[in-house]
Structure 1
Amino acid sequence: MMVFVWNKDDLNDEQVDAIEHDGSVFLIACPGSGKTRALTYKIALELSRLESDRHWVVAITYTHRAAEEIEERIERLGVNTERLWIGTIHSFCLDWILRPYAIYHEKLKFGFRVADERETEQRLERLCLGRQPRIRPFDCNHYFTPEGCRLEAPNPARRAQILGVLQHYWAGLEAERLIDFEMILSCAHDLIVNEPSISILLSSIFKFVLVDEFQDTKEIQYAILAAILRAGAGRTRTFLVGDPNQAIYGSLGGYAMTREDFAALCGLELADKSLSINYRSSSRIVEYFSNYRVFAADVEAEGKDRDYASLVSFDEETAHQGVDDEIVRLIRYNCEQLGIAAREVCVVGPRWVQLAALTRRLMSALPEYSFDGPGMAPFARDQNNFWFKVARMALTEPSPQLYIRRTRWAKEILVELRHIGISVRDLSERELLRRCNGIQIDQDDGLAFLRLYFDEFCLALGFELTDSSALAEHHQTFFARSEAQIAQLEGAGVQGVSAIGMFRRVFASRTGITISTIHGVKGAEFDTVIAFAMLEGMVPHFADPDGDRSAKKLLYVVCSRPRKNLHLIAETGRLDGRSLPYSTTAVLGACVFGYDEVPDDA
C-alpha cells in the first residue's frame, strides 16, 4: 500500500505538524478546531504505513457514533481499514482482553455474559426496595479505579449501606456469570495487571494506539492503555487528542491527565501539540465561551461564520412556568426570522428527566416542526442489547451511504453470536448483510415489524431463539422496554408512535430540532443553541465537590456548540428537593458581557 497523502488545502499547519510528528503526540484541541479531521488523517496515515498483516492501528473513541463517523471518513479517503480496530474502551476491553483471555480470570473463566442496562436497573431496584434509610438505584452509581470502587455522588451518611447493596449486586452477577458495563473495565484491568504477557503480546500487535477525548478518560482506562504502551518499550506509539476545558465527566471518573503524568505512566516521550483555530463559530461566540476557560488556551475564529452578527442572550427573568413558551418563541425567531434550519437548532438542559417531558410538550406546541429528543425513540435504545444491534439492520435501508456503517454493525452481530456459541464461523459480514437485505416484512406496526424481522433473522442464520438463554433474555427485555416506551409516549399524547416510519426515523439523519443534555451534546455543533435551567445545583450538580470549576467546563461546552446564536436561560422560581428556589449558576451570573435582547415580537 502506498503511504497516504492529502491535498494541500485539507489541513492547516497546526494539524500537519501534529500528524506528521514522528513519535507519540499529546494534542490539545480547542472547540471547532478540526480535531476529528486531524485524528482521521492521522489514523489514515498510520494505516498506510503498516508493513505487516500482523500489525494493527487501534483508535479509542468516547462513543460508538464517533467510531462510525471516523471509520467512514477514512474509507472515503480511500484508505483500507482492514487493519483498523476502532471503538469505545469497553468494546476494546471485550474484544482484545476479556474474550481472548477470560480463562485467566477467576470470575470469567467458566464463561460470562454482559448484563444490559435494563438488567442492571432491575437488579438494583430489587435490592434497594424497602431499605432504611431509603436508597435509590441511582444512589448506587459507581465506577472503578485501579484501587477499587468509587461512588459517583458519595453520601457519607449512606456510604456503608450503598456499598452493602453493591456487594449483594456483584454477588448476584457472579452467581449467574454476568458482568456489567463498569466491570468490563475492572476485569480488564485485573487481567492486565496479573497477566503481564497480555500487554506484551498486544504491544507487539499494535503499532499505534490513538485516543479521542482524552479528557473524559477514567483513571482505570489510562492504566490499561499505559500498561500496553509501556510493554511496547517504544515500539507502540500513541496519539492522544482532547481539550481539558471540556472535561465534564468528572463525576463519572473521567479527568484530563496531564501530558507529563501520562508520559511517566506509559514510559514514552509525548510531543506537546495544539490546535487553536476555531472553524465553527463566529468571533462573538468564541469571545463569549472563552470567559469560561479553566485552563489557558488561545482560540481564534477563522471559519466561514467568523463575521456573523451573533445573538448572545441571557435571560434571568422568565419564570419556570413560562420556560416552554420562551423556548418556543426563541425557536420561532431563529427559524422564521433569522432563517436557521430546524435541524440546526438544539435545546439543551442539564437533566434527561426534564428533557423527555419538555420534548413532548414542544412537539405539542410546535406541531409543524419535528424533534429529535430523549425518550422519543419508540423502542429500547440499549447499545448492549443484542436485538438492538439487529434492529439497526432492520430499520435502515441498504444504500452506498450506509454500507460502511451497516458492515460495521454486521461485524458486531457476528462477534456477539460467536461469543454466545451460535455457529456462524463461515459467515462473513458481507454475507450477513446480504441475508439481512433479503428479509422483506410487510408490516406498518413497528414492534410487529421487528418481531417478524427477528424471527426471519434467526431463520436466515439457521438458529432458534431458544438456542441461547442470553438471546432469549435480551429479546424479552427489548420488547418489554419498547412496549413501556410506546405506552409512555402515547400517554403523553404523541401521535403515530407505533408506526414503522417513527421507528425508522431513529437511525435517519438528523432532521428536526435536537433536544439534549449538556453531556449528550458534547462534540456536536449547531447554528443555534438554546440552554435552559442554567441554575446553581443543576449546573453544576449540587453534589459536585468542585462546583465553580465544573460549572465553567459545562458552560464552556454549551457555549462553544453554536456557530451563530446562543440563548441562555436561568429561569426563576424552580424549586429544589427542599422546596427552595434555585438561583442562577454563580459563574454565569458573574460573567460580564454585552448580551443581546431578542425582540419581544419574535
Structure 2
Amino acid sequence: MTAATSSTLFPQGSTPGAYAATPRDADAVLDGLDPEQREVATSLHGAVCVLAGAGTGKTRAITHRIAYGVRAGILQPASVLAVTFTNRAAGEMRGRLRQLGAGGVQARTFHSAALRQLQYFWPKAVGGEVPRLVERKVQLVAEAAARCRVRLDRNELRDVTGEIEWSKVTQTVPEDYPAVAAKSGREAPRDAAEIGRIYATYEQLKRDRGVIDFEDVLLLTVGVLQERPDIADQVRRQYQHFVVDEYQDVSPLQQRLLDLWLGERDSLCVVGDASQTIYSFTGATPDHLLNFRTRHPRATVVKLIRDYRSTPQVVHLANGLLSQARGRAAEHRLELVSQREAGPDPAYAAYADEPAEAEGTARRIRELITPVEQGGGGIPASQIAVLYRVNAQSELYEQALADAQVPYQLRGAERFFERPEVREAGLLLRGAARGGSADPALADADIPSQVRAVLGSRGWTPEPPAGSGAVRDRWESLAALVRLAEDFAASRPGATLSDLVAELDERAAAQHAPTVEGVTLASLHAAKGLEWDAVFLVGLTEGMMPITYAKTEQQIEEERRLLYVGVTRARRHLTLSWALSRAPGGRASRRPTRFLN
C-alpha cells in the first residue's frame, strides 16, 4: 500500500518516523512503571496476555507499551491498531498516546475501525457506495413486528431489538434463534419462535431498503476479509500490531474479526480481567481471554495485581468476595495487593426499611461533603457515588438527596420522574384523580388499590415479569410508584388520590433542578470503568443482589462479579447497606446478600 493510499484508508495523526527516536527517549517512557507494568511495556514481540485487576493501571501499562515500541523504533505508529469498547475509552487512550509522543497510533472501538475499513474497501469489493447505516434500529424492528402481526409495546420493542443484537454478535441466524436461545438459557421477552420470525423479517426489510445496522458493520467487514484475500492482505500490511483492551468483553463476532485482522501472525497484546465480566447478556464472553494461552502456547503472560486505586481495607473485601466464587472465571481470579496507605474499614449498615436506608445514606453523604473545618469529610460531591442494581432504585435516593439538599446527577438513565412510563403513569393518575376512579367499584378504595388499578392497565402486575430487560425495567418503575402510594397512604391517613398526585408533582419539581457538581447515582453496570473517593452500595438484599431472575450458577456468579465491580470503584470510603423490610412498619423478613457471608 502506498503512503497516499494508507493515509486515505486510515488517516494518521502523524506519519511514521515523524521524529527521530533514540533509545534514551524510549527508556524515559518506562520511568515510573512498576516491575509488572514495565514487563508489559517491554514485551513487544509475539502474543502477550495481560491479566489486569481493577485499579492496577492497565491503561497506563498498554499506552506506555505502545509508546515505548514507537520511540524505540520497533513499532511504526501507522502499523498499530489499539481497540477498545467505548468511544470514551478510545478517546482517553488517544490522548495518553499523544502525550507520550505516539500520536500516529490508531485507537478505536471495534465498530469504528471496521466501519472505516468497510467504507474504504466497499467500492472495490462490492461496488458503489456503502449502504446507509441505520443509527436506531428500533423503528425497523417495529415495522418487522407489524408485518408479522405482532404487537409490541415500547419496552418489548427494546427487548426484542436486544435479542436481535445478541443473535448477530453470537452469529446466530433467525431460524436458529429459538434453539440457540434455549441452549444459552436466555429468558426470551416473547415467544422465541415469534422473535425468530421478527428477526428474519427485520433482515429482509434491511435488504429491501439497502441499509445496514451496527452489527452488520462487523459482519460485512468479516465477509469482505474472508472472501477477498487480496483485501485481507492489504489490511494486514497496514496493521501489523494489535492491542485489545477489556478483552473479557469480546463477542464471538469481534473475535472473528480480530482473527481475520491478524491472519497467521501473533503480534497481539490483549488486556482483561475475567472477574469483571458483567455483560454476558449482550454476547460478551471471557472464554477468549481464558483460552488465550491454549491458542497462543508461547504467549507472554503478565499479571497486574498492584492496586493503586483502593485502600487495603477495600481491596481485602474485594478479594474476599471473589474467594467464594465458582466457575472458570473464578479459577483465574487475581489476588490484588493495595499500594495505598490504610483507610477506614468498609462500613456495613442494616436499616429497618428502604426509605430509612436512603435517608441514612443521604445523611452520611451530607457529612462527607461538609468542609473539614466544619467537622466534615471535605470530599467533593462529584467524588461520591451511590450504586444500585436496577435503575428503578434511584427514586428513593433522588428524593433523599434532594431533601438533604445534596446535588446529584444520574448516569446511564433518565431521572425517575422523567422516565416515559413514570410520566405516562402520572398523567393517568391525574386523570383518575380529576374524574374520580374510572372503576366505580374502586371509588371508595384506598389510595394504593386505586393506583394498582390504574397502573394495572399499563403493565403493572403484583408479580414481576420473568427475566431482565426493558419490560422488567418498566415494571420496576411502576412498582416503585405503587410502593410510593403505599408509603404515602400509611403516612397520611385520610389522604386522597389528588393528594398523592400533588405529592408526585412536588417530588418531580424538587428533582428537576439542574445539577453539575453532584453525587453520582448509577446502576452497577453503568459504573464500570469509573471510580470515586466514596462509594455507597445500596439495596444489597437477597432478590436484588443476586437479582431474582439470576437462577443458574453462571448467572449468580455474574451477579457476584457485578458486586465486585461495585466494591472496586471505591478509593477510600465504602459503605454497604440493606433494608430489612421494604416499607416503614413492614415485617423485617429480608436478608442481606449471600455474597457478604
Would you say same fold, with TM above 0.5? Answer: yes
Paired with 1:489 and 1:192, the residues of 2 have a C-alpha distance of 58
Residue identity matched to 1:12: D
Q: How many angstroms apart in 1 are the aligned matches of 2:190 and 2:88? A: 39
Separation in structure 2 between the aligned mates of residue 341 and residue 239 of structure 1, nearest angstrom: 37
Distance (Å, rounded) in 2 between the aligned partners of 1:321 and 1:30: 35
Q: How far off its partner does 1:553 sit?
A: 0.8
Instruction: Specify the alignment match of 1:184 in structure 2.
Output: 217
Q: In structure 2, what is the Cα distance between the partners aligned to 1:40 and 1:157?
A: 44
Equivalences for 1:268-417 in 2 at 5 Å? 269-293=298-322, 294=330, 295-303=332-340, 306-315=341-350, 317-336=351-370, 337-355=376-394, 357=395, 360-361=398-399, 364-375=402-413
Work out which of the residue numbers 119, 130, 133 in structure 2 matches 1:111: 130
- Give the secondary-structure state (helix, strand or coil) at the position aligned to 2:594: helix
One of 162, 167, 172 as aligned partner of 1:148: 172
- Residue of structure 1 in register with 2:594 after alignment: 587
Q: What CA deviation, in whole Å up to 9, does each residue of 1:330-349 have, x standing for no partner?
A: 31133233332211101112
Q: How far apart are the structure 1 equivalents of 2:57 and 2:386?
A: 24
TM-score by length of 1: 0.67
CA distance in 1, matches of 2:377, 2:220: 53
SS at match of 1:528: strand
1:554 CA drift (Å): 0.7
- Structure 1 partner of 2:203: 170
Aligned residue in 2 for 1:386:
none
Q: C-alpha displacement at 1:9, in angstroms?
A: 4.6
**How much has 1:251 moved relative to structure 2?**
1.0
Whole-angstrom CA distance in 2 between matches of 1:540 and 1:102: 46
Please give the alpha-carbon distance, in whole angstroms, between the structure 2 residues aligned to 1:492 and 1:123.
36
Instruction: String of CA shifts for 1:480-506, please: whole Å, max 9, x gaps.
Output: xxxxxxxx9996555566xxxx8xx6x
| Cα distance, 1:215 vs structure 2 | 0.7
CA deviations on 1:512-552 (whole Å, 9 max, x unpaired) are 21222212211211111112233445444544442221122
Aligned residue for 2:150, secondary structure, equals: coil
- Please report how far the alpha carbon of residue 181 of structure 1 lies from its aligned counterpart in structure 2 after TM superposition: 2.3
CA contact (8 A) 1:527 1:562 kept: yes
User: What code does the residue aligned with 2:200 have?
Assistant: Q
| Aligned-partner residue type, residue 257 of structure 1 | D
Distance in 2 between the 1:51 and 1:289 partners? 38
Letter in 2 for 1:41: H
Secondary structure of 2:241's aligned partner: strand
Report the CA distance shift for 1:493/1:181 in structure 2 as closer, same or farther (over 3 A): farther
Tell me the residue number matched to 2:327: none
Larger radius of gyration: 2
What one-letter code is carried by the residue in structure 2 that aligns with 1:335? I
- Residues 322 and 189 from structure 1, CA distance in 2 versus in 1: closer, same or farther, beyond 3 angstroms? farther
Structure 1 pair 259–66 and aligned structure 2 pair: CA distance change class (3 A): closer
- Residue 228 of structure 1 aligns with an amino acid whose one-letter code is W
Amino acid in the other structure paired with 1:290: N
Q: How does 1:56-75 map to 2 (within 5 A)?
A: 56-75=79-98
Match of 2:140 in 1: 123
> Aligned to 1:148, what secondary structure does the other structure show?
coil
- Distance between the aligned counterparts of 2:590 and 2:263, measured in 1? 48
Distance 2:114 2:191 in 1: 32
Higher mean C-alpha displacement, 126-135 vs 254-263: 126-135
How do 1:438-453 residues align onto structure 2 when only pairs under 5 Å count?
none
**For residue 254 of structure 1, what is the aligned residue in structure 2?**
284
Distance in 2 of aligned mates of 1:215 and 1:178: 31
Q: Quickly say closer, same or farther: Cα 1:81–1:156, change in 2 above 3 A.
A: closer
Match of 2:21 in 1: 2
Instruction: Give 1:226 shift.
Output: 1.8
Measure, in 2, the Cα distance between the counterparts of 1:122 and 1:80.
42
Change (3 A) 1:264 1:198: farther
- Pair 176,569 (structure 1): closer, same or farther in 2 beyond 3 Å: farther
Q: Is the 8 A contact 1:230 1:268 kept in 2?
A: no
Unmatched tracts of structure 1, length 5 or more: 381-487, 506-510, 593-602
Unaligned 5+ runs, structure 2:
1-19, 323-329, 371-375, 419-504
Which residue pairs with 1:29 in the alignment?
A: 52
Q: Distance in 2 between matches of 1:548 and 1:249?
A: 13
2:403 maps to a residue whose letter is: A
Alignment of 1:452-467 (within 5 A): none
Partners in 2 of 1:555 and 1:268 — Cα distance? Answer: 33
Relative distance call for 1:352 and 1:190 in structure 2 (3 A) is farther
Equivalent positions of 1:501-512 (< 5 A) are: 511-512=517-518
Instruction: State the match for 1:417 in structure 2.
Output: none
Q: Which SS does the other structure have where 1:533 is aligned?
A: coil
1:28–1:273 CA contact under 8 A, matched in 2: yes
CA distance in 1: counterparts of 2:62 and 2:255, whole angstroms: 19
SS at match of 2:81: strand
Cα pair 1:46 1:208 within 8 Å, conserved = no
Paired amino acid for 2:172: G
For the residue of structure 2 that corresponds to 1:10, the secondary structure is: coil
TM-aligned CA distance change 1:164 to 1:538, over 3 Å: farther
Percent identical pairs in the alignment equals 21
Cα-Cα RMSD? 3.5
Measure how far apart 1:28 and its partner are: 0.4
Distance 1:164 1:327, change over 3 A: farther
Q: 1:215, 1:241 → 2: CA distance?
A: 8
2:578 aligned partner? 570
Deviations 1:456-482 (A, max 9, x none): xxxxxxxxxxxxxxxxxxxxxxxxxxx
Further displaced range: 240-249 or 253-262: 253-262
Normalising by structure 2, report the TM-score.
Answer: 0.67
Shift of residue 210, structure 1, vs aligned partner: 0.5
Whether the 8 Å contact between 2:156 and 2:189 is mirrored in structure 1 is no
In the alignment, which residue of structure 2 is the partner of 1:389?
none
The amino acid across from 1:292 in the alignment is: L
Is residue 70–residue 77 contact of structure 2 (8 Å, CA) maintained in 1?
no
Task: Indicate the residue corresponding to 1:100 in structure 2.
Answer: 120
Deviation string for 1:171-205 (max 9, x for gaps)?
22332222222222222222233333333222221
**Are the aligned partners of 1:312 and 1:566 in contact in 2 as well (CA < 8 Å)?**
yes
**Please, which of 219, 223, 232 is the counterpart of residue 199 of structure 1?**
232
Q: Choose which of 512, 517, 527 in structure 2 pairs with 1:521.
A: 527
Residue of structure 2 equivalent to 1:469:
none
Give the letter for the 2:379 counterpart: I
* 3-state SS of paired residue (1:221): helix
